[in-house]
Amino acid sequence: MYEIVYREDIAAKIHLFRIAAPAVARKAQPGQFVMVRASDHSERIPLTVADFDREAGTVTVVFMEVGHTTTEMAALRQGDYVQNFVGPLGNPTEIEKFGTVMVVGGGFGTATLLPVVRGMREAGNRVITVIGFRTKDLIFYEDKLRAASDELIVSTDDGSYGYKGVVTLPIKEMLESGRKIDRVIAVGPAIMMKFVSKTTEPFGVPTIVSLNPIMVDGTGMCGGCRVTVGGQTKFVCVDGPEFEGHLVDWDILFARQRLYLEEEKHALEEHECRLAKVK
């Protein structure tokens, strides 16, 4: 059992758990993930390591309430426990001196950028962070990421704060202006990572994306996280989660993400029905 030593609701439906897990904290690196099981009857879900403190023995995860399991997890409070917290899994982000690195976040991905930004700066890179939200009220982590980055660009789809438009617009503008970007790293919804990759492709900027297919075991045994990258079959949990975005077959990823949509919907409806009875 792993204690939730700190909980914070950082935005609407986005929650942060700091979990006491010394063995995971000792080895965790930016870009890796953990498989979490809230209780002994829950499914396992993968969550990215959003931060870690080796001395305190804690690992931070941030999750968005999107369905049955994340809603179940959102009901847990500080001092409660999660049943399993396995990791770190997957390969760490490749951190070295590239020059100017652009780190892009959308949705829950924004909350996982800090260790990558810090690592890239420590390696001597200039880091431009770009984060996108639908509207001003949904913005989170702006101050933390501004303090950690050399430059921060915030965009909102409706123009209520910062740059008006989706994240790809400021990226395109910067590349068209002739600004030299040596590497882009994008973390967030698959659709956002696809369009970031499409934006950088004509400029030939290597673009690393953190893929999020459905995972079951997280250790390369079930085949659930199969994707196609550069015409080859890859298992995201052991070969990734990070890949060159220009080589990813996005249509296959989207199709596989939708595989259990009906079952997921039923699970959530059942959960809400049970909650209503309790109330």
Binding site for ligand FAD (CB under 6 A): 33, 45-48, 61-64, 66-70, 108, 112, 212-215, 241, 257, 261, 264, 268
Segment 64 to 123, residues that bind Mg ion, using CB under 5 A: 67-69
d(CA 159, CA 166) in angstroms, rounded, equals: 9
Q: Which is nearer to ligand FAD, 59 or 205 (CB)?
A: 59
Cβ atoms of 186 and 112 closer than 8 Å:
no
**Residue 112 partner contact from ligand FAD, Mg ion, ligand FES, none using kind-dependent CB cut-offs of 5 to 8 Å:** ligand FAD
DSSP 49-84: --EEETTTTEEEEEEE--SHHHHHHHT--TT-EESE
Binding mask 166-205 for ligand FES (x = CB under 6 A): ----------------------------------------
User: Residue 267 interacts with ligand FES (CB under 6 A)?
Assistant: no
Identify the residue among 235, 241, 245, 250 touching ligand FES (CB under 6 A).
Answer: 235
218 binds ligand FES (CB under 6 A): yes
Of the pair 69, 207, the CB lying nearest Mg ion is at 69
Piece of the chain touching ligand FES by CB under 6 A; list 77-85, 168-176, 177-185, 216-224: 216-224
Closer residue to ligand FES in complex, CB, 44/144? 44
C-alpha span between 121 and 95 (Å, rounded)? 9
Applying CB under 6 A, among 1, 56, 66, 221 the residue interacting with ligand FES is 221
Smaller CB separation from Mg ion, 56 or 66: 66
User: Between residues 68 and 172, which has the closer beta carbon with respect to Mg ion?
Assistant: 68
d(CA 137, CA 216): 34
Of 120, 168, 164, nearest in space to 145 by CA: 120
Residue 218: closest CA among 46, 19, 50, 68? 46
- Cβ 51 to ligand FAD, closest distance in Å? 11
Residue matched to tokens 């993930």: 33
CA distances from 131 to 6, 37, 83, 207 (A): 25, 29, 33, 16
Distance CA 152, CA 81 (A): 35
The tokens of 111 are what? 């909350």
Q: Tell me whether residue 67 or residue 206 sits nearer to Mg ion (CB atom).
A: 67
Residue numbers of the site for ligand FES (CB under 6 A)?
Answer: 215-218, 220-225, 235, 237
